Amino acid sequence: MSTAERPMPPLDADERTTLESWLDFYRATLAQKCADLPEEGLREASAAPSPITLLGLLQHLAEVERNWFRRVLAEEDVPPFFAPPADGGDGSQGREGGWELAEDATSAQALARWEGEVAAARENCAVRALDDTSPFMGARVTLRWIYTHMIGEYARHCGHADLIRERVDGRTGV
């Protein structure tokens, strides 16, 4: 994986541009955290007992993009890439998968899958207004809510990626 340019969100844009820009900022941050590491570095777990890896984060966020922007927003009938985690008593049941690494999983495969889902997300969002809704959990959810949720999801996981990357090779910052 190579380092991608990280776009600074504009300071004085309209609401939609602001939301899209912050989501893209965090997407680029994730890509940078995964950049220039060999496969074994991307597979290295953060710290016991956590099994989280950079490759697992990339897979998980491909699944999250697919879920929110294709299944929920666009109401597409697309299967998950990964089985959801089994409930090990930690409340993980019902969450998106991707955390576990198959022996044959590669960074090239994970990156291509994630980039494909990001592209699909952009297409699905481009034809909708922020106030457009889709069915979700017996109610309706707006695109605005989904953007806000995704910004939080990425921000949280970019924090994880920061810590993992520092543990793997000492690299800090972006």
pLDDT for 92 equals: 46
In angstroms, the CA 121 to CA 70 distance is: 7
Contact 97, 81 (CB under 8 A): yes
pLDDT attached to residue 7: 86
pLDDT for res 114: 98
Please give the pLDDT value at position 86.
65
Q: Give me the pLDDT at residue 90, please.
A: 46
Give the pair of three-digit tokens for residue 34.
Answer: 């995964």
DSSP assignment of 129-169, as one string?
A: -TT-EEEETTEEEEHHHHHHHHHHHHHHHHHHHHHHHHHHH
pLDDT at site 93: 43
Report pLDDT for 96.
77
**Burial of residue 62, with CB atoms counted within 10 A of its CB: 0-12 exposed, 13-18 middle, 19 or more buried:** buried
Those residues of the chain that have pLDDT short of 70 are 1-4, 85-95, 174
pLDDT value of residue 134: 98
Would you state the pLDDT for residue 4?
58
The answer to whether 2 and 36 are in contact (CB under 8 A) is yes
**Structure tokens of 39?**
């496969």
